[in-house]
Amino acid sequence: MKVLFIGDVVGGPGRRGLAATMPELREQHSPDLVVVNGENSAGGMGITEKTAAALFDAGADAITTGNHVYRHRESYDFLDSEKRVVRPANYPHANPGRGHTVIEVGERRVGVINLSGEVSLRVARSPFHEVDSILERIECDFAIVDFHAEVTSEKVAMGWHLDGRVAAVLGTHTHVPTADARVLPRGTAFISDVGMSGSRTSVLGVKPELVLESLITQMPVRFETAEEDVWVMGAVVEVNERGLADSITQVMVPAPVS
């Protein structure tokens, strides 16, 4: 089975770029399951029911999120009701949404788990303890983990922690693709960060001049999503009958220009 995982979709440019690129990705990789990180899909920060629908229309079977998931209050009921959208599992239990889901793909049940790092991010519980607890009770044939974390060391540690227990640990949040994609010794595909789906003429998806103004003046600046030179980034993981990875291939492709 092949799983296509798409990194942080940033705003309208990222959504449109993904929709335009998906036919090419399907033709090239023939994925059986598509998981998309959509935590920046609404105006570059957060997710809404409308932007989630656009990602599903583009081909997502499940959507993961991250630290901006609660940016739009009107989405809270949607996060509770839509089982295909998950938020970090190590947030407070009472928060809207769920931390993992199970997607049926043919005769196989695939667990999709979302975790947040705790270094430089706010969480209620350790991601390491949380994922151990989930794996003890989730009913699936194999699991894919989106680890939405700030620092590389914590992401690499999670890969080793889960090696041989999940099919893949795929890093998100920092928007910059890393060069460490590999299958770990016990069969877990790993990459520190798959990158983002959005404008490369940007600073992490935001118009460069606005980020520069903020950094140089140290004054509040309203960020706007950049639109030029949109790329779609992610990874394809081939999962064997044992529920572990045979390979991981990075995806970095420019979106067609309309």
One-letter amino acid of 45: M
Which candidate in 29, 68, 100, 173 is catalytic? 68
CA distances from 258 to 21, 234, 255 (A): 11, 22, 9
Burial of 73 (0-12, 13-18, 19+ CB in 10 A): exposed
End-to-end CA distance of the chain: 32
Backbone angles phi, psi at 4, to 5 degrees: -100, 120
Closest CA to 226 of 199, 194, 257: 199
Q: How far apart are CA 142 and CA 207, in angstroms?
A: 39
Q: Is 100 an active-site residue?
A: no
Residues designated catalytic: 68
